[in-house]
Structure 1
Amino acid sequence: MKDSSQDGYVWASPGPYEVQRSFRRRKRNGGIFVLVLFSFIGFMVFGMSYFASPYVSADAQKGVGYATVAEKEIALVPYRRSGSRGLFQMITQDTFQVRLFAVELDTGRRLWDTQLSSMPPGWQAKVITAGARNAYVATDGGLVILDLATGDILARDGDIQGLPNPVTSSAAYGYDASSTSIVAMSADGGLRTIPLDTVVAAPAPPELARTWRSKLSPQRPGTESTSGASSSHGVLAGREKVELIPREDVPGLRLVRRTGNSGGTPIGETVFHEGRLLLTPPPGEVEGKGFPDSSSSAAGTPAGLVVVQHLRDLNSRNYAVSVVSVQTGQVVATHPIGPGMNRVLTSPGKRTLLFADGEDSMLGDGLATIGLDGRINWFYLGTIDFFGNPSF
């Protein structure tokens, strides 16, 4: 039956003054909640494992090299890095690494830090030589050629053109100064040469091969000691020596310079307690078999400086290293260090490299560069960020 009450009623869209109601959906925050939850879990797993893990250990190796980049003298330092901090580094980083970094000796600024290989502990790396553009590093995994300016690896191991079967021993490579070329032993016993600043090998000339055949070896060398040396005296220049001698009737030592058995001329008035002079091989050299000997120089003396390790004061058991000007007797710089034996090298440009225990034993070994002006620039070896990358 038709409803008469609906007669004449017309359905139409809302007029200009009418508002059509719409249904509002409730905003859901589930996505944000899940994001926050996973972020929290990630922080707990990766972040807490990072803070709870010990610092990685890093040890400098013996085969340091030197070069010049942008008219600045740099040192090329190979070192071993062991361990990882946190779960993220365990997943993404090699536990054992052999690396090489470049550092400006005047400023202590590190230019780059490159992983050479993931070698087990005990394997060696040494800088053979460096040209104007390239550095050549022998490792127990083979030869690595790097760009001096960037640290990029240009060629390595079996990828070196002309050296298809390289020997995996750092003792199988050397530098021939007369021909300015790297000499490499191949697995078939033949010798190849790589001209400096190139990456292509070629058969060695017969005369050069005869000279080098007995100098290279396919056997991996044993772990070489990198301990330093210290003494109460060291060579200053020629027959002149610098010494630490006791003061009369009072504690402490003072610096003097003397020739032969003369009484000596004081170098400044600074008093050192339990002081030792650090010794260095000749500029540009690493420790030889006879180091130290009676002709070993006191560290810093090629640049007119003396480097002294000593207690910070009479009542302290903490150590520091001080740089003293031979000419003025003034202490140019002092830096706290750990109590261990320190290793010192001198660059061809008479700048000083000091490997020492750091003041903070948790951070491990450190390196100080001492420029010609005597300033000390210090940093810890193997410092890394959350992702395991070198931290400069």
Structure 2
Amino acid sequence: MFQDFRAAGPLPPHSQLVRSPYGTPEHPLEPKRRPRGIGGSILGFALLMTAGTFVAATGGEYLTAPEPDVMLRTGIAFSADGLALVPYDRAGSGGLLAELAADVNAVRLAAVDLATGETKWDVQLADELDRDAAAVGAGEQYAYIATAEGLEIRDLDDGALVIDAGDVPGLEGAGTGTAAYGLDPAAGVVALGFDGAFRTVALDALEAVPADPAVAEAWTGRLAAEGAASQLGGMTTTEASIGENATVRVEPTAAGAVTSRLVVSDDGRALGTGTYTEAAIVLDQTHATTAWDIDLDVDGLIDGLLEDPSAAEELIDDPTGAIDLTAPAGTAAGAASGHVLVEHRRTPGGEDYALTVLDLDTGQTTASIDTTDHAGRSMTAPGGQTIVIVAPADGHFQSDLLIVAADGSVDRAEFGALDLLGDPDTD
């Protein structure tokens, strides 16, 4: 029996509803914003606190860090307009950015105005303390600096690099290191090449030329094609020239006395009324080397040895006894401006030193500065000022530059101060 299973009535018409997560063009759907949880906020806060703590700790370390160690190098030069170009080593704390980069050691070059004692500019030469550097000379526009890589030229206005080491025209093959360069009063900067040839760079020139034969002869044996020039320590003596065939000398105040006074040789007068313990006269070392003529009668010496055999034995025992090798008295530092600088102990039996400036005409003390060690190199600037490298009373290294003016007054230039960003603080 056949059964009809069809519905009694037709199904109503319908269509399947399809939903898209993006909706339809007519009715687009936007995702609901979820409320932010506390996890992201905590993470951001933690990162902010960590960064703040790091900056605070580093900044605090910078603010409480000890003063940097500074030591002046002796390769100092003068410009035509009264600047002293002073290279120095700086080790220790730096600006905040330098502390973050762990870049706190450097060889730097400062330009000091000798009329005011203020630093005009201060630039970095190298970021390693063992790098060789010395100021060789300067004109009115440019400074000439010898480095381990060769000679570089800098602008005297701000210390900016004009020509890098190795790029000076005419100095191809020139020596490297400070021992290869010197300053000739007439020719300017003298350079020795690896080929043994001398070249010169006139002050304020930007290229080198072959040296004149007379200049080459004068500088033969005084330079080396590579290596560092020796650092010059201070020199003192008990008698020094003050010009016009006169000298000043140190004499004990009495036989066996521990104190001394200064006496001018030409008239025997005492220079002032002061007495000093372990006194010594500071010598001028503007020129790194000094030569003098020795009159030696070689033929007469040989004839004398042949006639008197015992003289030959004496010559063997004392090679200098038969020859007068006495050097002329060195020039007293400050003599160019009518002064003499005396180094002495501050107190009998004490450890600290003092540097006292005396007027050669009146004997009056014009200045006296406490130091912790012997004075370093002393030089006379073209303007008549005397500069002396010293270790200050509150320091351990020769970090300061004393400037003795024409009137005998003293200024002190300090080095190595940096601001928060690591730039030189020249104020």
Pairwise TM-score range, normalised by the shorter structure: 0.7 to 0.9
Give the SS at the match of 2:80.
strand
Question: CA shift at 1:252, angstroms?
Answer: 3.0
2:163 equivalent in structure 1? 155
Give yes or no for the alignment of 1:302 onto 2:333: no
Query: Which amino acid is 2:64 matched to?
Result: F
Give yes or no for the alignment of 1:228 onto 2:256: no
Decide whether the 8 Å contact of 2:95 with 2:421 is kept in 1: no
Distance in 2 separating the partners of 1:175 and 1:138: 11
- Choose from 52, 60, 69 the match for 2:72: 60
Q: 1:195 to 1:365 in 2, by over 3 A?
A: closer
Distance in 2 separating the partners of 1:255 and 1:296: 16
Q: Deviations over 1:352-372 (max 9, x none)?
A: 111111111257522111111
- Choose from 69, 89, 92 the match for 2:98: 89
Give yes or no for the alignment of 1:78 onto 2:92: no
1:51 equivalent in structure 2? 64
Question: CA shift at 1:126, angstroms?
Answer: 2.7
2:277 equivalent in structure 1? 273
- Choose from 170, 181, 188 the match for 2:178: 170
2:243 equivalent in structure 1? 237
Q: 1:119 to 1:252 in 2, by over 3 A?
A: same
Distance in 1 separating the partners of 2:115 and 2:215: 39
Q: 1:206 to 1:219 in 2, by over 3 A?
A: same
Q: How does 1:362-381 map to 2 (within 5 A)?
A: 365-381=399-415
Q: How does 1:97-108 map to 2 (within 5 A)?
A: 97-108=106-117
Deviates more, 1:128-137 or 1:29-38: 29-38
The percent identity for this pair of structures is 29
Question: CA shift at 1:304, angstroms?
Answer: 0.9
Q: Which runs of 5+ in 2 are unaligned?
A: 1-40, 293-325
Question: CA shift at 1:265, angstroms?
Answer: 0.3
Decide whether the 8 Å contact of 1:101 with 1:111 is kept in 2: yes
Q: How does 1:136-215 map to 2 (within 5 A)?
A: 136-161=144-169, 167-174=175-182, 180=187, 182=189, 184=191, 194-201=201-208, 204=210
Q: Between Structure 1 and Structure 2, which shows a larger proportion of strand residues?
A: 1
Decide whether the 8 Å contact of 1:280 with 1:346 is kept in 2: yes
Give the SS at the match of 2:234.
coil
Per the normalisation by structure 2, the TM-score is: 0.69
Q: 1:153 to 1:327 in 2, by over 3 A?
A: same
Q: Which runs of 5+ in 1 are unaligned?
A: 1-28
Q: 1:205 to 1:368 in 2, by over 3 A?
A: closer
Deviates more, 1:167-176 or 1:353-362: 167-176
Decide whether the 8 Å contact of 1:133 with 1:197 is kept in 2: yes
Query: Which amino acid is 1:74 matched to?
Result: L
Question: CA shift at 1:183, angstroms?
Answer: 5.1
Decide whether the 8 Å contact of 1:65 with 1:128 is kept in 2: yes
Q: 1:213 to 1:82 in 2, by over 3 A?
A: same
Q: 1:93 to 1:391 in 2, by over 3 A?
A: farther
Q: 1:150 to 1:192 in 2, by over 3 A?
A: same
Q: 1:253 to 1:391 in 2, by over 3 A?
A: farther
Per the normalisation by structure 1, the TM-score is: 0.74
Distance in 2 separating the partners of 1:161 and 1:42: 47
- Choose from 318, 321, 332 the match for 2:355: 321
Deviates more, 1:351-360 or 1:294-303: 294-303
1:3 equivalent in structure 2? none
Question: CA shift at 1:267, angstroms?
Answer: 1.5
Distance in 2 separating the partners of 1:326 and 1:177: 28
Distance in 2 separating the partners of 1:206 and 1:247: 53
Q: 1:341 to 1:190 in 2, by over 3 A?
A: closer
Q: Deviations over 1:126-182 (max 9, x none)?
A: 33322221111111122111112322221112444565666533344455665x454
